[in-house]
Amino acid sequence: MSSTSSVKATSVLDAAQIEQFARDGYVVLPGFLDEALVSRLKREVDRWVDDGLRDRSIASAVDPEANGLPPVMELEMPAHADLIAYPPLMGVLTDVLGPSFVFHHLHSDRQAPTLPGKPWHHDYEQRPQRDRTYAMVHALHYLDGLDPETSSLVVLPGSHHRVAAKDANAHLGTESIDGEQVLDDLPPGSTVLAHSAVFHARRARPEGIGKDRYFVDASYCQTGTRWPPVKPYWRHMLSRGRELGIGGQQWPHLFDEEHFEEFRR
């Protein structure tokens, strides 16, 4: 088995946080990203949205025959590349995944105040859903944090232990579920590290929300199995990650292809 790290990453989570992640399927890291990285990321997110690059990347994912490869991918923007291999994040990932994991994908957006909520779902990639032997995680980065002017993130602790379809709770929309935890007050640069199988929703404020919400999510998978990719241009994405040397010498295997199946709709 290949290892993504040739040097042991520094542990970041304490024992209680590692236990919480195993039990509940998420851990909240307030103010995790440093300020300079956050401001560089926000400038890149603005460019990504305002220059139509996000729309182009979606078009390339939806209809690759008509639209070809995206002209720019998120990981080709320097701050996003730095975020993917942000050393404290690599430490957190090593704490919960062990030393051998690969990058899966990243999405970046500036969500308008009018964006509706997103119904309960999980994001664990497996077809069909059959077990939780290997972990996949999503690092949900809230560049301006979460506050009364933004939608909240709602999670259902422990739900990653149950094998279920991604949309098994979608009929509930974004309604409250017994035992849910609402995350609606986080400082800038906060990250929620979630097991991808934990059910979660984005809940809009009933009274309406007032400002753009800068949101980047990046996912990573334990090695040892083959994961379904989510973008048809996944080989190109991984190959650019390798060419750009994201992760440097400490993470030479972060963009290895061998851990993925062929793309299927």
Ligand X SMILES: O=C(O)CCC(=O)C(=O)O
Residue ranges in contact with ligand X by CB under 6 A: 118, 123, 140, 153, 200, 202, 215, 217
- Tokens standing for 263? 């793309």
Q: How far is the CB of 123 from ligand X (least distance, A)?
A: 5
Identify whether the C-beta of residue 37 lies closer than 8 Å to the C-beta of residue 44: no
* Least Cβ distance, residue 159 to ligand X (angstroms): 13
| Shortest spacing between CB 198 and ligand X, in angstroms | 10
Q: How many CB atoms within 10 Å of residue 220? A: 25
Listing DSSP states for 174-241 in one string gives T---TT-EEE--B-TTEEEEEETTS-EEEE--TT---S-EEEEEEEEEESSS-BPPSSTTHHHHHHHH
In 10 A of CB 62, how many CB atoms?
A: 10
Query: Considering beta carbons, is residue 9 or 156 the nearer one to ligand X?
Result: 156
Q: Which is nearer to ligand X, 215 or 234 (CB)?
A: 215
Residues 81 and 246: beta-carbon distance below 8 Å = yes
Question: Looking at beta carbons only, is 8 or 211 nearer to ligand X?
Answer: 211
What are the structure tokens assigned to 160, written together?
């990653």
CA distances, 175 to each of 16, 117, 146, 202 (Å)? 30, 10, 19, 10
Q: How far is the CB of 138 from ligand X (least distance, A)?
A: 7
Of 103, 48, 129, 147, the residue nearest 239 (C-alpha): 103
Which of 26, 215 has the CB closer to ligand X?
Answer: 215
Task: Identify the residue whose tokens are 């009364």.
Answer: 148
The CB-nearest residue to ligand X is 202
Please state the closest distance from residue 193 (CB atom) to ligand X, in A.
Answer: 13
Q: How many angstroms separate the CA atoms of 258 and 261, rounded? A: 8
- Token pair, residue 62, equals 């939806």
| Closer residue to ligand X (CB): 212 or 217 | 217
Nearest distance, CB of residue 112 and ligand X, angstroms:
12
Between 3 and 176, CB nearer to ligand X: 176
Task: Please identify, using beta-carbon distances, which residue of 202 and 231 lies nearer to ligand X.
Answer: 202
Least distance between ligand X and beta carbon 194 (Å): 9
